[in-house]
Amino acid sequence: MKTNVGTVDRVLRIVAGLVLILLAVTGTIGIWGWIGILPLATGVFRFCPAYPLLGINTCSINRKD
């Protein structure tokens, strides 16, 4: 699996995911906040399954994992 999520994209995904999960845990936004697991996972694993379908790659250096 090639990485396709760059550094800035990765940080934004992780922060957004954590914020959504935190808001869900505190009950601020309800159950929909658990969708934050998706951006968190794609940021941690540096791979977004939608990117190859859309022809997007924000990673400047492709490496094989």
Tell me the DSSP string of 26-53: TTSSGGGGGGGHHHHHHHHHT--THHHH
> Is 35 inside a domain boundary?
yes
Q: Decide if pLDDT at 51 tops 70.
A: yes
As a whole number, mean pLDDT of residues 54-62 equals: 86
> Is 34 inside a domain boundary?
yes
As a whole number, mean pLDDT of residues 41-57 equals: 95
> Is 64 inside a domain boundary?
no
Burial class of residue 8, CB neighbours in 10 A (0-12, 13-18, 19+) = exposed
> Is 61 inside a domain boundary?
no
Total domains in the fold of the chain:
1
> Is 2 inside a domain boundary?
no
> Is 24 inside a domain boundary?
yes
pLDDT band at residue 1 under the 50/70/90 scheme: confident
> Is 42 inside a domain boundary?
yes
> Is 26 inside a domain boundary?
yes
Supply the range of the domain harboring residue 20. 7-54
Residue 59 or residue 63, greater confidence: 59
The token pair at 23 is 């808001």
Write the pLDDT tens digit of every residue in 3-39: 999 999 999 999 999 999 999 999 999 999 999 999 9
